[in-house]
Chain A
C-alpha cells in the first residue's frame, strides 16, 4: 500500500512539513529528512526549486533562488535521495512546478520517483484536466499519488471532480493567498473548513498556507486530517540551519 494511504489511516492529526531541496546548503536534504522523521513529522514535502514559483510568497521564493544558486537540479535531488529509504520511512512527496519536470521527461521523472520510493507529487500548475488526459496513467503506473489543491473559491462541483480524481489526500489551501501569508484563521476560514468537512469527501483534507505555530495548527486541524507547514519551517532553517529541527516541531505539536 502507498505510504500516504497507510499514514492517513492512523488515528491522529498529521503534521506535514515542506522544505526546499538544496536550502540552506546544497547537501542538507538528507539531514533535514532524517531530523524531521526523528521529530515525529508524519509526511514531508520536498520542494523542487523553480526559477518562477507563481504560487509562492517571498520566503519560499528566496529559498528557491538560493537553492538554484547552490546548484540544485532534478538530477541532483534524485542523486541525494537515492538511498533515502534506508534511513527514512515516512511518506515523501515531491512538490514542484511543472516545467522542470517536463524538461526532465515526465515518464523518466516518475520512474526515478518510484525507484527512490517517493509516494506522491504536488504540482500546483498542472491542472486537473491536463493531468487526467495526459498524465494520470503514467503517474499510476509508477505508484505516484497526485495531490490536488482546493481553495475557498473552488466551487462545490469542482471539489467533487477533484475528489473523484484524487488519491491520498486533498491539499486544502486555507485562504485566497500565496504561501507564507500570516493568518489567524478567523471566522471565514473556520466556516470554510467546516463547509468542506460537511461535504463528506472520499479523501481526507490536509490544510496548507498560513500555518506557522501550534495555534494555527490546531485551528487548521479541528476539522481536517492534518496541516502543512512550509514558510515558517524555511524561516527556521534560515535562522538555524539544520540545528534544532526537533525543537521547532515539538512546539507545533505540543
Chain B
C-alpha cells in the first residue's frame, strides 16, 4: 500500500483525475502521457534540469529556522524559502522542467495561462532563456489587477493575450489556452502552471515541484537530525506548491499534511475560494476533481484577495488527499492572511506573497507542541502584492 497517495497507471488519484478532453486534444495528451516519465528520468534531462535549478533558479532554497516566529507560537517553525527562487515563487521549478520537456518533444511554440501573473512570468522567463515564442493567456480583469506582471511578461518577450470570455479571470484564461492548443495541435506545448488539467499534467507538475520536499528532507536531516517534520503547511489554489512540499511525504503517515485554502470573505459569504468546503465532484479543465459549481453543473467564480488562490477547483491529488483525510484542510480569510503576512514581516523581515500568507495564518488556527517541527512552504515573495498590502494597511 505504499503508493496509495500517488497516481495510478490510469491517471487517477483514488477516484480523481483522468483526462476528460475533447478528441482534438487527444494526440497531444497521448504524446505527453507516453513520453513524460521517460523524458523526466533521462539522464540528459536530469542533468540539464538540475543544473538550471541550481545556477539559474538558485536552488536549493534555504530551509530557514524562524526563531522569533517560533517563540511567538511556542514551537519550532522552519520556512522553506521558495520566495527566493528566481522570478519570486516556486512556479519556475515547473516551467524550467516543462520547457526542457517541450524541446525534447520537438515543440516550437509555448502557451500558458496565468491568473496573478506569476506562472505567466515564470513561463515567459524560461521562453526568453530558450529563445522560444511565448503566448500567455490572462483574464482581462486580471490584466488590470496585475499590471506590473503584464509588463514583466512583455519585457521578457511574451505576447499577453486577454481572455474576454466568461468571467474574464483564471478559469477563462485556461479555457483560452486549451482552445489555442486545439487550434495549434502540432508545434505547440502548453505549460500548465498547477497540478490541474488532464492526466498527465497533475502528476508531471507534481514531479517537477517535488524538488521542494526532496530538499526539505535533506535540510531537516542536517538541522534536526531527522527527515520528517511533524507538520507541513502549504497554501492551495490549484495546489502546485503544496503538491511539491507534500510529495515525498505523501506515504509517510507520521507527517501531518496541512493544506490551507482561501476562505475569502468567509466560507459562507458567497465570496470564497475554499473548494474543499464549498465544492463537490465534477469535471474542470479535463480533470475529475472537487470544484465549485452550481446545482446545474455550471462552474462558479471563486473569490480571494489573493489572485493566486482564486481557482474554482483543486488538483485531483488534493481532492484525493481531502477525501481520504490524508491531509487536513483549513481555510483562512482575507483578513487572517493579511495579518499573518504583516506578522511575518515584523518578526522575521520577510514580506510573503499573500498566497503564502494563507499558509502562515494556519499558525493562528492550530496549536503545535513545543517539541514539534513545523515546516511552512513560503511559496512566493510579496513584492507583487505591495499594492494590496498598501491599500489594506493604508501604508
A127 lies within 8 A of B20 (CB): yes
B320 contacts chain A at the CB level, 8 A cutoff: no
A154 lies within 8 A of B20 (CB): no
> Which residues of chain B have C-beta atoms less than 8 A from A181's C-beta?
183
B184 contacts chain A at the CB level, 8 A cutoff: yes
A to B contact number (C-beta, < 8 Å): 110
* Interchain CA distance A74-B293 in the complex, whole Å: 14
* Interchain CA distance A104-B178 in the complex, whole Å: 26
Kindly specify which of A10-18, A23-31, A49-57 makes contact with the partner chain: A49-57
B299 lies within 8 A of A99 (CB): yes
> Which residues of chain B have C-beta atoms less than 8 A from A143's C-beta?
none
A103 lies within 8 A of B295 (CB): yes
B296 lies within 8 A of A100 (CB): yes
Query: A54-B179, A151-B24, A153-B27 are contacts. A100–B186 as well, Cβ < 8 Å?
Result: no
B175 lies within 8 A of A54 (CB): yes
A177 lies within 8 A of B23 (CB): no
* Interchain CA distance A153-B298 in the complex, whole Å: 30
B297 contacts chain A at the CB level, 8 A cutoff: yes
B20 lies within 8 A of A130 (CB): yes
> Which residues of chain B have C-beta atoms less than 8 A from A176's C-beta?
24, 182-186
B282 lies within 8 A of A55 (CB): no
A99 lies within 8 A of B297 (CB): yes
Within 8 A of A (CB), among B262-300: 281-286, 293, 295-300
B163 to chain A, nearest CB (A): 11
A65 contacts chain B at the CB level, 8 A cutoff: yes
* Interchain CA distance A244-B283 in the complex, whole Å: 38
A54 lies within 8 A of B282 (CB): no
> Which residues of chain A have C-beta atoms less than 8 A from B179's C-beta?
54-57, 178
A124 contacts chain B at the CB level, 8 A cutoff: yes
B298 lies within 8 A of A51 (CB): yes
Within 8 A of B (CB), among A32-54: 50-54
B18 lies within 8 A of A130 (CB): yes
> Which residues of chain A have C-beta atoms less than 8 A from B175's C-beta?
52-54
B171 contacts chain A at the CB level, 8 A cutoff: yes
A188 to chain B, nearest CB (A): 12
Q: Count how many chain A residues have C-beta atoms less than 8 Å from C-beta atoms of the other chain.
A: 42
Query: A52-B284, A100-B297 are contacts. A177–B20 as well, Cβ < 8 Å?
Result: no
A50 lies within 8 A of B298 (CB): yes
> Which residues of chain B have C-beta atoms less than 8 A from A73's C-beta?
296
> Which residues of chain A have C-beta atoms less than 8 A from B297's C-beta?
50, 74, 99-104
A149 lies within 8 A of B23 (CB): yes
Q: Which among A98, A153, A154, A173 has the highest number of chain B CB atoms within 10 Å?
A: A153
A74 lies within 8 A of B27 (CB): no
Q: Which of A51, A52, A154 contacts B27 (CB 8 A)?
A: A154
Q: Which of A75, A97, A98, A150 contacts B296 (CB 8 A)?
A: A75
A201 to chain B, nearest CB (A): 15
A155 contacts chain B at the CB level, 8 A cutoff: yes
A61 lies within 8 A of B166 (CB): yes
A61 lies within 8 A of B165 (CB): yes
* Interchain CA distance A153-B21 in the complex, whole Å: 15
Find the A residue at minimum CB distance from B183.
A177
B298 lies within 8 A of A177 (CB): no
Find the A residue at minimum CB distance from B24.
A151
B122 contacts chain A at the CB level, 8 A cutoff: no
Q: Which of B24, B172, B293 contacts A173 (CB 8 A)?
A: B24
B286 lies within 8 A of A65 (CB): no
> Which residues of chain A have C-beta atoms less than 8 A from B24's C-beta?
55, 149, 151, 153, 173, 176, 178
A52 lies within 8 A of B296 (CB): no
Q: Which among B166, B178, B296 has the highest number of chain A CB atoms within 10 Å?
A: B296
Query: A55-B182, A127-B21 are contacts. A103–B286 as well, Cβ < 8 Å?
Result: no
Extra contacts besides A99-B297, A178-B24 (20): CB < 8 Å: A50-B297, A52-B175, A52-B284, A55-B179, A55-B182, A58-B165, A61-B165, A74-B296, A99-B282, A101-B297, A102-B297, A103-B297, A125-B22, A126-B20, A149-B23, A149-B24, A154-B26, A176-B24, A178-B182, A181-B183
- Pairs of residues from A and B, 8 with the lowest C-beta to C-beta distance, nearest first: A103-B297, A100-B297, A149-B23, A51-B298, A124-B22, A73-B296, A55-B22, A153-B27
A–B Cβ pairs within 8 angstroms, 20 of them: A52-B175, A52-B285, A54-B22, A54-B178, A62-B165, A68-B298, A98-B283, A99-B293, A102-B297, A124-B22, A125-B22, A127-B26, A149-B22, A151-B23, A153-B27, A154-B23, A173-B24, A176-B184, A176-B186, A178-B179
